[in-house]
Amino acid sequence: MIDLRTPSEIEAMRPAGRFVASVLDATRAAAEPGVNLLEIDALAHRMINARGAESCYIDYHPSFGASPFGKVICTSVNDAVLHGLPHDYRLQRGDLLTLDFAASVDGWVSDSAVSFVVGGDETPGDAKLIATVEEALAAGIAAAQAGNRVGDISSAIGTVAHRAGYGVNLQFGGHGVGTEMHGDPHIANDGRPGRGFPLKPGLVIAIEPWLMATTDEIYTDADGWTLRSKDGSRTAHAEHTVAITEDGPLVLTARD
């Protein structure tokens, strides 16, 4: 079922968006060479507890997961693109890290992700990959206008990706957000404009392009969760929770 939120409900979702943004800001700042992924997860967990929020991940066990996730943030490194399960790994300078975080505050969920190079030493290839997912996210958000359709968002994302020379995997994409982390409609990262569910004021969605440098195929790591590029190439992912309003798209997870 697809829910449409009232203006007052969208206002009530703002604290969740601000909290998710603050956790991504804090964990990104902490992700320096030598820091363990488990330390990043612990920081996010402390912030959840301090805020009185609820994790969307720790008990999450969909059909594609081997077991409940057991952590509160996804940490995907280098060839890992989605659902990176935090484990005993110390970040190295030059690692390409994606942090993906969702939480519930006062019953409302927000979901967001960011990719960056640890230590700031971007290669040209990494810089292009990260810039492309960010451009694709911006294009998807710009297309999230009342009167458009889901396919307009998908097409905007796919156009940016293909123009930059990347393939697009359609197995995972954006989704509805509300009182739960994942809902309808599904928002593929490529598609045809003018097709799919109509975008109406009150619809709240997560838009999340993700790309791999030289493939569009993935496989599941032995941990049962982490999705990696099939050829071992680097990856990037960007995501925001966005509300469709009469005045245009409202990014609830905008970061400082």
Separation CA 72–CA 55 (nearest Å): 6
Instruction: Look at residue 12 and tell me whether its pLDDT is greater than 90.
Output: yes
Cis peptide before 185 (omega within 30 of 0): yes
Note the pLDDT of residue 129: 98
For residue 66, the SS3 value is: coil
Note the pLDDT of residue 206: 98
Q: Are 144 and 197 a contacting pair, CB within 8 Å? A: no
With cut-offs at 50, 70 and 90, classify the pLDDT of residue 121: confident
Query: What share of the chain has pLDDT > 70, as a percent?
Result: 100
* CA dihedral sign of residues 19, 21, 23, 29: negative
Instruction: Look at residue 256 and tell me whether its pLDDT is greater than 80.
Output: no
- What residues form the annotated binding site for substrate? 83, 182
Average pLDDT over residues 200-208: 98
The pLDDT mean for the chain works out to: 97
Which amino acid is present at 92? Q
Instruction: Look at residue 108 and tell me whether its pLDDT is greater than 80.
Output: yes
With cut-offs at 50, 70 and 90, classify the pLDDT of residue 65: confident
Instruction: Look at residue 135 and tell me whether its pLDDT is greater than 90.
Output: yes
For residue 16, the SS3 value is: helix
Calculate the CA 211 to chain-centre distance.
12
Average pLDDT over residues 85-91: 98
Note the pLDDT of residue 190: 98
Q: What is the CATH number of the domain that holds 57?
A: 3.90.230.10
Instruction: Look at residue 182 and tell me whether its pLDDT is greater than 90.
Output: yes
256 in a structural domain = no
222 in a structural domain = yes
Instruction: Look at residue 61 and tell me whether its pLDDT is greater than 80.
Output: yes
With cut-offs at 50, 70 and 90, classify the pLDDT of residue 1: confident
For 233-250, how does the pLDDT look when each residue is reduced to its tens digit (9 = 90+)? 999 999 999 999 999 999
171 in a structural domain = yes
115 in a structural domain = yes
Q: Based on C-alpha coordinates, what's the Rg of the chain?
A: 17
For 150-181, how does the pLDDT look when each residue is reduced to its tens digit (9 = 90+)? 999 999 999 999 999 999 999 999 999 999 99
213 in a structural domain = yes
Q: Which DSSP letter does residue 198 get? A: B
For the beta sheet containing 204-207, the strands, ordered from the edge strand earlier in sequence to the opposite edge, are 183-187, 174-176, 204-207, 240-245, 248-251
Beta-bridged to residue 97, according to DSSP, are 77, 116
- What residues form the annotated binding site? 83, 100, 111, 175, 182, 208, 239
Note the pLDDT of residue 66: 85
With cut-offs at 50, 70 and 90, classify the pLDDT of residue 225: very high
Tokens 């109406």 correspond to what residue? 200
Q: Are 143 and 153 a contacting pair, CB within 8 Å? A: yes
Separation CA 128–CA 125 (nearest Å): 5
Q: Which DSSP letter does residue 119 get? A: G
Mode of pairing for the β-strands spanning 240-245 and 204-207: antiparallel
1 in a structural domain = no
Q: Which DSSP letter does residue 82 get? A: E
Cα dist from 124 to 128, 129, 131, whole Å: 6, 9, 10
Q: Are 141 and 251 a contacting pair, CB within 8 Å? A: yes
For 29-50, how does the pLDDT look when each residue is reduced to its tens digit (9 = 90+)? 999 999 999 999 999 999 999 9
H helical segments located in 105-190: 124-142, 150-163
- What residues form the annotated binding site for a divalent metal cation? 100, 111, 175, 208, 239
Residues 6 or more apart in contact with residue 201 via CB below 8 angstroms: 4, 146, 244, 245, 246
For residue 236, the SS3 value is: strand
* Counted domains in the chain: 1
Range of the domain at 170: 7-251
Instruction: Look at residue 63 and tell me whether its pLDDT is greater than 90.
Output: no
2 in a structural domain = no
196 in a structural domain = yes
